[in-house]
Amino acid sequence: MLDELRTFIAVVEYKNFTKAAKEINLSQPSVSLHIKHLEGYFNTTLIQRSVKQKNIYITQSGNLLYERSKQIIKLLDDTKGDILDYGNVVKGRLHIGASFTIGEYFLPTFLGQFTKAYPNLELEVTIENTHNICEKVKSFQVDLALVEGTVPSSNFKINHFYKDKMEIAVPYNHYLVNQKFSIEELRNQTWISREVGSGTREYLNFFLSTNDIHPKNIIVFGSNYSVKEAVKNNLGITFISSLVTEPALKNKEISILKTIEKYTRPFSYILQKGILPSKGTLVFIDMLKDYMKN
């Protein structure tokens, strides 16, 4: 139908079948056939021809179809252009999941740059512990997630993007700060911990078990800020990300013990297996990779 409408427009504008056929690169019999199909479809005469078909007359119905045909063709051409532009401008909605350390201490700075690069992309961020965020990826509640801790590879596509430094934080004037590092001294401390299901709790448990430390007491808090505040106020010591300790260290709220070994863990972005990521997801990942290179 679109080709026939374009043919009809050409015939009306050139008022000649031969000239119209040449302009749109069709044979004259094909042009005549297109007009015949349109007249059959609309059950009306669109063009009246002289006996020798040297002159044509556009009927009232033909003039109406001519005007509407131009509107239809323009609308389609405009729509095609809009769709092509839409493909170049990232729009829509992106729902990001993040575990607490990443969501509170890493993601805000990165998103500040990301939103400037993609202002037409609507963002939503959900911050929970690693276990809960992984469940949201599995149930398609978030498009992708940034997590710390161990993630079951059978369920997700996993890519590391940052190596996080883990540190032992103690109150600012704690007596261990001026002593030689000793695992034995750590066995006599109260430890401040995140809840079960947290990536930070997982790495604390790993640190304690590998060093054969059985704390005399563990106090559990539901956020990194609460853990830091607990250490600051002499409730105990903790094993936590340097992203959490850095500002508190500058403000002389806590101190860091110098350990013999260095402890790190990966931050990862994860996707549900077997899905085609949205364009918003792909540009987020690309910018995240570039951001970590700088």
CATH number of residue 212's parent domain:
3.40.190.10
Kindly list the distances between the CA atom of residue 142 and the CA atoms of 79, 117, 137, 268, in Å, as whole numbers in the listed order: 30, 21, 5, 15
* pLDDT tier for residue 277 given thresholds of 50, 70 and 90: confident
- The tally of CA atoms less than 13 A away on the side-chain side of residue 188 is 5
Confidence (pLDDT) at 74: 76
Residue 103: pLDDT above 70? yes
Residue 81: pLDDT above 90? no
Q: Which pair of tokens denotes residue 22?
A: 């040449």
Shared domain for 180 and 261, answered yes or no, is: yes
Shared domain for 156 and 168, answered yes or no, is: no
Kindly list the distances between the CA atom of residue 105 and the CA atoms of 39, 98, 101, in Å, as whole numbers in the listed order: 69, 11, 6
Which amino acid, residue 204? L
CATH number of residue 33's parent domain:
1.10.10.10
What kind and span of H or E run contains 8?
A: helix 2-14
Confidence (pLDDT) at 53: 58
Q: Is 244 in contact with 109 (CB distance < 8 Å)?
A: no
The mean pLDDT value of the chain amounts to 89
Q: Is the dihedral of CA 66, 71, 77, 80 positive or negative?
A: negative
Confidence (pLDDT) at 189: 93
pLDDT digits (tens, 9 = 90+) for 204-225: 999 999 999 998 899 999 999 9
Residue 39: pLDDT above 80? yes
Domain boundary (62, 87, 112) is at 87
Confidence (pLDDT) at 169: 97
Residue 77: pLDDT above 80? no
Structural domain that includes position 148: 93-162+267-293
Confidence (pLDDT) at 49: 80
Shared domain for 172 and 255, answered yes or no, is: yes
Average pLDDT of span 250-257: 94
Shared domain for 257 and 273, answered yes or no, is: no
Confidence (pLDDT) at 176: 93
pLDDT digits (tens, 9 = 90+) for 130-176: 999 998 888 888 999 999 988 877 879 999 999 999 999 999 999 99
Shared domain for 82 and 158, answered yes or no, is: no
Report the domain count for the chain: 3
Find, among 100, 155, 164, the residue nearest to 126 by Cα: 100
